[in-house]
Amino acid sequence: METQSKQRKISGNIIPLWVLVFFTGWFIMQTELVGARALTPYFGNSIYVWGSVIAVFLLALALGYGVGGRLTRHYHSHWLPALLLVLAGALVGVSVLYQDPLSNKLASGGMDLRWGALFGSVILYALPMILAGTISPYAVHLATAAKSEAGSRAGTLYAVSTIGSFIGSLATSFLLIPSYSLQGVALGGGVLAATAAIVAALGISLGGRASTVICALYTIVAVLVMTYSPSRIVPSQQRVYSRSIIGEKLSNASPSTIGERIAQSQNEALRELKKYGANSPKRVLLNMETAYHRIQVIQEGPIRMLVFGEAGFRMPQTTVNLNDITATPAEYIGMMLAPILYKQDIKRVLIIGLGGGDLARRIEMCYPDVVMDVVEIDPAVVRVAQKYFFWKPSRNVTAYTMDGRSFVNLKVVTKAAPYDIIILDAFDNDFVPFHMTTVEFYSVLRRVLSPDGVLAI
């Protein structure tokens, strides 16, 4: 009788249970998105990675639902689900310490990338997701002391949990990952889960208006903290940014020539070389997460490299020699410049994929009067190209931050002037994005290419 009375008291205090399932749903989706992103630098941003992560999370949650249902037969304390969620958050925090070393070991051990991504997901995330999966059935058990209200209460709890997953997905993908390190986002998710569990348990214990006030205040503060994203875009006064249907457009109103801009860039490069030393050991100058990549800038002596992913596992996107930025350390740059040998009268050029801007700079060196459009999906890459690789737009060279295929489709719709040369240099880690490898995409490219134009891949 005492147990039933206690359970009825808990079921009458539903708001703390809403908090519990809301932030559990948020925590699960945040961990899933972070998990897939953490594996990407080592195993690629392929369907295999996403399929592995989703499969492991679904199986772990299914096991958790079963375990949670069995626990409700024997344990009725509201502190048990709180303890399980705290433990799940702690395990995710621990996984942060091992995700890079483990992924490194699996990827470098010769294991098939598909199985490496699957095993990595199991080792890092299966156990915390099993624990997180126990929360929903336990919350339903605590909320449904009166059988007549069981369906309504269970439906409400699952709705609140799903809303938490929805908000957590958007906050993680739109705000957190582009603004903070993956480790920081994962740790934040673990702390969120642990604190939500404790607040919910305290709310159930207190009951009454105090419970409602505490849960409401916690929810407001937690959501504000977990959706805070400081802006990283600080436009220079010398550059023009305009927002339109073609995304963010970056140009330079300065009338300087390509020679003047290269001289300015070379001076900046030499200052950087002096800063770090001509014989400096290998160091990471930048390691950041964006909505599209993990971007690393690596320097060793006078050589500076741009890498999408984890250095050592991915090919450099751009390589420059700070002693002479007009030198060509990367062989592929020479190959990508080959189209200009087959096309003499070049007026308009389209490059899809900016990287460090080296290819665009060299084409402008060969054809100072050419009109060039450079399309880069990631605004952070444009800023990195300017800051670390000394690329500068001009009156004739404009960068657009949008998807390359969308840009080409827009050019077809607006019947823009065709390009004499189109260079497809877009890579997601070491792979050309899937939607730029289809027959349909190349048929659209043909429509924006002049009759005797050249397409380089």
Considering only CA atoms, which of 197, 61, 210 is closest in space to residue 137? 61
Q: With 50 as the cut, is the pLDDT of residue 238 above it?
A: no
Separation CA 48–CA 434 (nearest Å): 13
258 vs 78, more confident: 78
In this predicted structure, the answer to whether residue 234 has a pLDDT above a threshold of 50 is no
Q: Which residue has the higher pLDDT, 37 or 340?
A: 37
Averaged pLDDT for residues 227-250: 47
Residue 309 zone, left/alpha/beta (φ > 0; ψ -120 to 50; rest):
left
Region 418-427: mean pLDDT is 90
Which residue is it, tokens 């156990």? 127
pLDDT band of 239, cuts 50, 70, 90: very low
Residue 430 pLDDT grade (very low, low, confident, very high; cuts 50, 70, 90): low
Q: For 64-90, write each residue's pLDDT tens digit.
A: 999 999 998 888 888 999 999 999 999
Question: Comparing 181 with 133, which gets the higher pLDDT?
Answer: 133
Q: Is the pLDDT of residue 397 over 70?
A: yes
pLDDT tens for residues 151-185?
Answer: 778 889 999 999 999 999 999 988 898 888 888 99
pLDDT of 314 reads: 64
pLDDT category of residue 253 using cuts at 50, 70 and 90: low
Report the alpha-carbon distance of residue 326 to residue 357 in Å, rounded.
Answer: 12
**Distance between CA 153 and CA 163 in Å, rounded?**
15
CA distance 367 to 358: 14
SS3 string, the chain, reads CHHHHHHHHHHCCCHHHHHHHHHHHHHHHHHHHHHHHHHHHHHCCCHHHHHHHHHHHHHHHHHHHHHHHHHHHHCCCCHHHHHHHHHHHHHHHHHHHHHHHHHHHHHHCCCCHHHHHHHHHHHHHHHHHHHHHCHHHHHHHHHCCCHHHHHHHHHHHHHHHHHHHHHHHHHHHHHHHHHCCHHHHHHHHHHHHHHHHHHHHHHHHHCHHHHHHHHHHHHHHHHHHHCCCCCCCCCCCCEEEEEECCEEEEEECCCCCHHHHHHHHHHHHHHHHHHHCCCCCCEEEEEEECCCCEEEEEEECCEEEEEECCECCECEEEEEECCCCCCCCCHHHHHHCCHHHHCCCCCEEEEECCCCCHHHHHHHHHCCCCEEEEECCCHHHHHHHHHHHCCCCCCCEEEEECCHHHHHHHHHHCCCCCEEEEEECCCECCECCHHHCCHHHHHHHHHCEEEEEEEEC
Residues 249, 389, 341, 314, CA torsion sign: negative
pTM of the model: 0.75
> For position 20, what pLDDT does the model report?
96
Share of the chain above pLDDT 90, in %: 43
Give me the domains of the chain, ranges plus CATH numbers: 2-226 (1.20.1250), 239-456 (3.40.50.150)
pLDDT recorded at residue 407 = 93
Residue 236 — very low, low, confident or very high, per pLDDT cuts 50/70/90? very low
For the ranges 100-109, 186-195, 206-215, 261-270, the one whose mean pLDDT is highest: 186-195
Q: What is the mean pLDDT of the chain?
A: 85
End-to-end CA distance of the chain: 75
Q: What are the pLDDT digits (tens) for 44-66?
A: 777 888 999 999 999 999 999 99
Look at the block and give the residue holding tokens 């958007």: 170
Predicted local distance difference test score (pLDDT) of residue 330: 65
Contact present, 309 and 362 (Cβ < 8 Å): no
Q: What is the chain's alpha carbon radius of gyration, rounded to the nearest angstrom?
A: 27
Write out pLDDT tens, residues 286-345.
988 888 878 999 999 999 999 887 655 567 888 888 998 887 666 677 777 777 777 778
pLDDT band at 244 (very low <50, low <70, confident <90, very high): very low
Q: What is the mean pLDDT of residues 214-238?
A: 73
Token reading at 357: 């801007």
Q: State mean pLDDT over 126-142.
A: 94
